[in-house]
A = this chain, B = another copy of it.
Amino acid sequence: MTEYLKIFKALGDKTRLRIVIMLKVKSMCVCEIREIIGSSMSTISNHLKILKEAEIINFQKEDRYINYGLNTENKTVSQVLELLADLDSAEIKNDRQKALLADRINIC
C-alpha cells in the first residue's frame, strides 16, 4: 500500500502533476522545468525529490545537467501514467508546447 500511497501523494499536487505530464514530452533538467512552471529552483528541486522517492521519475547526468525523466520501467508507475494519456486541458497544452521549445542553451 505504501507504494501506491507515495505515488498518489506525489501526484496529488498540481505542480508535480504538471511536471510529470511535461516529462512525457521529453526529459528535462531542473532549470528547464523551472522555466516552464515558473517557481523557484529550490521549489522545483523539492518537487522532483518527492517524485523521485515515489519512483515516478529517474534521472541521468548529461554534461553539466541532470536530466529528469519518467521511470517507465516501474510497472505501477507506468500503469498510473497511462491513465493520464488523454489529458488535454489548455494549461497542459501550453506546458507541452513550452516543453517542446525548451532549450537549455537559452535557459540555464
Copies per assembly: 2
A86 to chain B, nearest CB (A): 10
Interface residues of A (CB under 8 A from B): 1, 4-5, 8-14, 17-18, 21, 76, 79-80, 83-84, 87, 89, 91-92
Is there an interface contact between B1 and A8, defined as CB atoms closer than 8 Å? no
Contacts of A13 in B (CB 8 A): 5, 9
Contacts of A80 in B (CB 8 A): 83
Across the interface, A4 reaches (CB within 8 A) one of B4, B76, B84, namely: B84
Is there an interface contact between B83 and A4, defined as CB atoms closer than 8 Å? yes
Across the interface, A17 reaches (CB within 8 A) one of B1, B11, B76, B89, namely: B1
> Given known contacts A76-B83, A83-B76, is B4 in contact with A11 (CB within 8 Å)?
yes
